Structure 1
Amino acid sequence: MRKLKLILGLSFVLSCSAQAIETLEDYTLEQVVVFSRHGLRAPLSSPTSTLGKVTPNQWPQWDTPASYLTTRGGVLESYFGHYFGEWLVDNKLLPANSCPNDKDVYIYTNSLQRTIATGQYFAVGAFPGCLVPIIHKEKIGTMDPVFFPVIRDDSPEFKKAAIDSMNQIAGPDGIAGLNKQLDKAYKDMSNAINYKKSKNCLTDKQCDFVSPPTELIIEKGKEPGITGPLRTGTSIADAFILQYYEGSPLKEVAWGHIKSNQQFEQLVAIKEHYNTLLFSSPVVAKHIAANLINYINGAFSDSDNNIKFTFLTGHDSNVASLFSAMQIKPYKLPDQFETTPIGGKIVFQKWRDNHSGERLIKIEYFYQSTDQIRNLKQLNRNNPPHKVVLEMENCPINKMGFCSFSTFKQVMSDITK
């Protein structure tokens, strides 16, 4: 089965390469806007944290503070930048062997360490030896409104509509039904962390991992939130996934309790449901993604003076809400556990048809496979990242993956009306 997956992956890469050759001959790339999730960070685990209280086991100590981009994450991002540097030259958007100016490249990140550092490492890989400014507009450690998926409406009507929308996307019977669906995953996780001997159980007498009440939280000035096992389970799953990506031996990941891809996928499913529930319900997504959608839409125009390559760095919550608000059709990422993987990049490309002069948009998801991340594999023309073409519900694509640029602009504008 493993060999079959590798063969299928190779055919996918080859088909993308053939498509790129056809694109170079018949179309001209005019502008690119990339939205990137930040790179590999340290988890939020310490003896005094919530995670420290759910297990008697000692969480691994990382060489960077909690939530900061790790050194390995920086290397992976520089590899991604190196590939993009080649990709931009190959597609003739930027010239080879020269440093970009401020009309060529603009890198803008959220004002947290992990997003700023992601932009820095990407620039080092893409434009080595060049002084490319990394722009962040708020004090470090503060969320920038463009990247902050925050509730801005405190009306009872919006709160009810948002919670109804979240329960609907959770599936039959809402969040209660989702918790029931995840019951086995919760119990397996509880066993893996030895929850019965945790401080939560022994000191606080809270010994049932699943029983804490679940409440959906919609409050002005805060991100959408939730209490209960889905929140706790997501924090634990996140720590295990990051540990795996960081290259820890399998016998050390989750203290040796994860022994198969199926178990890992079960863990990831908890985190995926969390992101979908909080950030992808239609009412919430449209609300919290509005600033980012306006920014991306505004970066594209019919002007010849647009910045050629814009690189934005935010979070998986941004990706989840952006995809929902844009009505991106369901997609699969081969060779990846996550649907919004660490360091993954949504690449918005404006092309011109060389024959008709028509302007077109193409949206692709560039990402590193689970193995590329875990094994710290270099990326370049011969070992590219994976990518899939994305399609908006109201912006149909042709066989080349192109949608009308004018349609794209109109749909993006309509989202925030």
Structure 2
Amino acid sequence: MKNRFRVGRLCSMLMLAWLPAFVLHAEAASSQGELRLVIVLSRHGVRSPTSEPARLNVYSRDAWPVWPVPPGYLTPRGKQLMTIMGRWYRTHYAQAGLLPATGCMASSLDVVADDEQRTMESARGLMDGFDPQCAVTISAAPRKGADALFAHDVSGVSDAIRTQAQAALLGRIGGDVTRMTTANAGLIEQMQGVLMDCAPGQCSAGKTPGKKWLMDQPASVEPGEGDELLTIKSPLRSASTLAEDFYLEYVEGMPMSSVAWGRVAPTQLGQLLALHSIYTDTTLHTPVAARAYASLLAIRVLATLQQAADSMQNANAVGGVHTKIVFLIGHDTNIETLAGLLKLHWLLPEQPADPTSVGGALVFELRYHRDGNRYEVSAYYVSQSMQQMRASAVLDVAHAPLTAPIFIPGCSTSVPGYPCSLSQFATALTQAVRPN
């Protein structure tokens, strides 16, 4: 009897020690709400430069490195890195209670990719990690029509809107397109020094005849035609593209002697990527352009969130009523224009503002709160770090990718994670798409 009393007392003490932690965990889960749906808008994985080597070589003293795939194609390493991200998503959202840790997800998973090699293969790599034992259907988005989620089809945009987009862009740069160059001359000169292996400020076009020099490139902004909203020429645009090509060499895992010919350290590479960030912000975050490019995608994202909340089929939604996670695999421009439309911004430790890393994603989460019978939306950006990509590092709880919670203007509250009600998110998004 005495021993039984001691055992019972010990059990009671252990229960009392365990109970507060359990209660705190339950209260935290309750305060965050029940996770009902996740939409992952991801960029494709590591690809080769989109230009042929011969076109790149005219910008540099030395020949650019050879890639294992044709221009613009996903590399085998790029697919491997997407698999690592897919495995992380599965583990992360299993821990969040949305998904089982193992087993097929066909009934509650929808995957849509742009109809290009680098996006379709990225989606396959992602699913190799997310649902490795099951055959996942990956839908290819068409180039035109209501399902053209990634194509930026602006062929139906009027000449008046194209002219307005031109004015909106010029209005951001003082009405003079050359100011994009002069305002960023220091970074462009730094890039020129890397390309031609000369000291910034001391490079001269006369030293290397037959080569293209960044500062000699024409600068203009004109209304576009067909699928092109604007036709933009600028030294900043050229420098932006070449900086990202250096970044791709690094995350592909090329020897440092091949990354910008061994002329940049990883920290300098991050600085040069500001060229890409600045150009993107100027051209794709401008509201008129962002609205023309991203409105269809925004409407489909909202419809998918509303469908999950209403438990009723919505014709504009991606996936079915019982879908728990939607993967949309597109391009950096899809993330950039949607962010521009909704005025979203984020920051990671190693890159300039609003990076759109290969394999990185803009994520929307929908949560249900039983108290008040309400739904909330929150957003964050996630990406493997440059070093994690370079090392093909395994991701887990202790070695997670980089994340940044995002404040949604006109919607978010000050609660950690910056959630906002679904109704306010719908109002903010609708106002962005149809300001009048």
Structure 1 length as normaliser, TM-score? Answer: 0.86
Asked whether 1:407 is paired with 2:424, we answer yes
Q: Deviations over 1:292-317 (max 9, x none)?
A: 11111111223332421111011111
Residue ranges of structure 1 left out of the alignment (5+ in a row): 1-18
Q: Which residue of 1 aligns with 2:433?
A: 416
Q: Deviations over 1:75-113 (max 9, x none)?
A: 1111111011112211222223220123x0000011111
Aligned partners of 2:38 and 2:366 also within 8 Å? yes
Instruction: Write the letter of the residue equivalent to 1:168.
Output: G
What SS does the aligned partner of 1:331 have? coil
1:10-409 correspondence runs (5 A): 23-26=28-31, 27-49=33-55, 51-102=56-107, 104-138=108-142, 145-152=148-155, 155-169=158-172, 171-172=173-174, 174-194=176-196, 202-203=209-210, 208-223=213-228, 224-259=230-265, 261=267, 263-301=268-306, 302-304=309-311, 305-328=321-344, 330-336=345-351, 339-401=355-417, 402-409=419-426
The RMSD of aligned alpha carbons is 2.8
Distance 1:387 1:296 in 2: 21
Distance 1:349 1:393 in 2: 16
Aligned partners of 2:181 and 2:234 also within 8 Å? no
Distance 2:59 2:45 in 1: 26
Residue 214 of structure 1 deviates from its aligned partner by 0.6
Instruction: Write the letter of the residue equivalent to 2:209.
Output: L
Distance 2:113 2:42 in 1: 9
Distance 2:28 2:99 in 1: 16
What SS does the aligned partner of 2:141 have? coil
Instruction: Write the letter of the residue equivalent to 1:184.
Output: G
Residue 189 of structure 1 deviates from its aligned partner by 2.1
Residue 390 of structure 1 deviates from its aligned partner by 0.7
What SS does the aligned partner of 2:214 have? coil
Residue 31 of structure 1 deviates from its aligned partner by 0.9
Instruction: Write the letter of the residue equivalent to 1:413.
Output: T
Aligned partners of 2:58 and 2:212 also within 8 Å? no
What SS does the aligned partner of 1:108 have? strand
Distance 2:394 2:26 in 1: 23
Cα–Cα, structure 1 residues 63 and 271, in superposed 2: closer, same or farther, change >3 Å?
same
Residue 126 of structure 1 deviates from its aligned partner by 0.8
Distance 2:402 2:86 in 1: 14
Taking CA–CA contacts closer than 8 Å with sequence separation of 6 or more, which of the two structures ends up with the larger relative contact order?
A: 1
Aligned residues: 390
Q: Which residue of 2 aligns with 1:3?
A: none
Aligned partners of 2:141 and 2:150 also within 8 Å? no
Residue 173 of structure 1 deviates from its aligned partner by 5.6
Residue 234 of structure 1 deviates from its aligned partner by 1.9
* Worse-matched range after superposition: 335-344 or 71-80: 335-344
Residue ranges of structure 2 left out of the alignment (5+ in a row): 1-23, 198-202, 312-320
Distance 1:201 1:155 in 2: 44
Cα–Cα, structure 1 residues 250 and 96, in superposed 2: closer, same or farther, change >3 Å?
closer
Distance 1:357 1:240 in 2: 50
Aligned partners of 2:368 and 2:376 also within 8 Å? yes
- Of structures 1 and 2, the larger Rg is shown by 2
Distance 1:154 1:138 in 2: 18
What SS does the aligned partner of 1:193 have? helix
Q: Deviations over 1:245-278 (max 9, x none)?
A: 11223232111221361x3233211111222222
What SS does the aligned partner of 2:47 have? coil
* Worse-matched range after superposition: 114-123 or 213-222: 213-222
Q: Deviations over 1:6-39 (max 9, x none)?
A: xxxxxxxxxxxxx998653442111111111111
Structure 2 length as normaliser, TM-score? Answer: 0.82
